[in-house]
Amino acid sequence: MAAVDTDAPEITEEQFVAEATEFLEANAKRKTERREFVWGQGPDNAALFEEVDREAERQDLAAAKEWRAKKFDAGYGWITGPSELGGSGLPRKFERLWMQLEGQFDTPDGGFFGIGLGMVAPTILAHANPEVSSELLPRMYRADVVGCQLFSEPGAGSDLASLQMRADRDGEEWILNGQKVWTSGAHYSDVGEVIARTDFDLPKHQGLTGFIVDMDAPGVDVRPLRQMTGGANFNEVYFNDVRVLDSHRLGDVNQGWGVALTTLMNERASIGGGGAGGAGGFTKLAAMAQHFGVDDDALTRQKLMNVYTYGKVLSWSNQRTMDGLHAGRTPGPEMSLAKMGLIRQMGAMCDFVSDTLELRLVADTGEWGTFSWAGYVLGFPAMRIAGGSDEVMRNIVGERVLGLPKEPGIDTTSPFRELKVGTQRSE
């Protein structure tokens, strides 16, 4: 399906489904009908983060790139994107239709592109100059270029505005020096979105600037970080006199906080909308309770229903949010609610499996459906930090959604602080 001509008659949903189905039938295999879950049968893997060796990862990435290029060339790689940038220029309803259809077929994992297309690409579209957008976005959606996000630093995670990585101007270039940490996919990414400090004399939220950097540029050093799960999904990245053209700046100089917010809102929407297992996860937990003979225990049943209830509320909240996005609204602070809801459900799942499995969770007996959950429980703390810690999410919701007073901080003015400093005790 070629990019849509604005002068041509609008394609109908029926036409779209027919053409998309024909493409999928010709290029992928339909999934076999899913069998009903039975305890002890099928794969025994509950880890939150897939721990794969680098060679297997390279092979999976190559297959994912090939599939993405194929569907982009057919007009299904960026369905809502502007036609002048290689997109199909169709309304969001067609993207939903495509996702439903593609989900019926076995296709390579597209998780490699989640950060680049879900967070970095929307920021480029909103803040990059037209030449860079025209150069990068078609290549990103075709998977010729993979993107990553470089925000957190060892001393600036939840308080992102405290970052110290610096960018100094040198004519039509910027020189970047500093360190970033917890960067997913940096080792296979081609470009990265980075926020650096360009003016140390301004208040911390006002002296930041965003850039798109070449991850293969001289001075970029990517090092894997080993996690307590045993894998190395994240990286730390060092910048040593890395040069970036001013044309690859995102937004205005010292206005990088707004650029960062664009990315963060999309990030929280991606994380919160991912779900923690849905109905399938609940089914497995219910089978676990039955297998170990605790399904009649009142406390166990209550914990199991907590998982189900939190999941239902999360799905309804996400549906409302996604309806707003499909209607054209940009992601806002309400995205933090999705992240908070996901964490609550995941925490309930961790509580349930810990109490049900007990020592089986920490000692590998070889029994199906037991020790494999250790990867889930050990991975959960990372999810509480990714995209903003629980505490930061609560502050955002309280201040920007509920309208509560801003929490006093070292960089904010507090009436209580003024009272303490500006008054003299009479006694």
- pLDDT tens for the chain, 427 residues long, are 444 444 445 889 999 999 999 999 999 999 987 678 889 888 888 888 777 788 889 999 999 999 999 999 999 999 999 999 999 999 988 998 999 999 999 999 999 999 999 999 999 999 999 999 999 999 999 999 999 999 999 988 777 888 999 999 999 999 999 999 989 999 999 999 999 999 999 998 999 999 999 999 999 999 998 877 777 778 999 999 999 999 999 999 999 999 998 888 776 556 545 555 444 588 899 999 999 999 999 999 999 999 999 988 888 877 777 677 666 666 666 677 878 888 999 999 999 999 999 999 999 999 999 999 998 999 898 888 877 778 888 888 888 888 888 877 655 543 333 333 333 333 3
Residue with tokens 């060892």: 154
State whether residue 60 is helix, strand or coil.
helix
Q: Are 389 and 308 in a shared domain? A: yes
Q: What is the pTM of this model?
A: 0.79
CA distances from 104 to 31, 45, 74, 95, 214 (A): 6, 22, 18, 15, 36
Could you say which of 135, 193, 236, 267 is catalytic?
Answer: 267
- Check residue 413 and give its pLDDT: 45
- Check residue 423 and give its pLDDT: 36
CATH number at residue 159: 2.40.110.10
Answer yes or no: 25 catalytic. no
Residue 387 lies in a domain: yes
256-272 vs 298-326: helix crossing angle, rounded to 10 = 130
CA distances from 157 to 197, 226, 333 (A): 15, 18, 18
CA distances from 379 to 236, 272, 286, 376, 411 (A): 18, 16, 21, 5, 33
Q: Are 297 and 332 in a shared domain? A: yes
Residue with tokens 């990435």: 61
Residue 85 lies in a domain: yes
Residue 125 lies in a domain: no
Q: Are 376 and 284 in a shared domain? A: yes
Domain that holds residue 231: 147-255
Residue 51 lies in a domain: yes
Residue 426 lies in a domain: no
Q: Are 211 and 183 in a shared domain? A: yes
Q: Are 251 and 286 in a shared domain? A: no
Total count of domains within the chain: 3
- Check residue 227 and give its pLDDT: 76
Q: Which residues contact 357 (CB under 8 A, 6 or more apart)?
A: 288, 292, 370, 373
Q: Are 166 and 96 in a shared domain? A: no
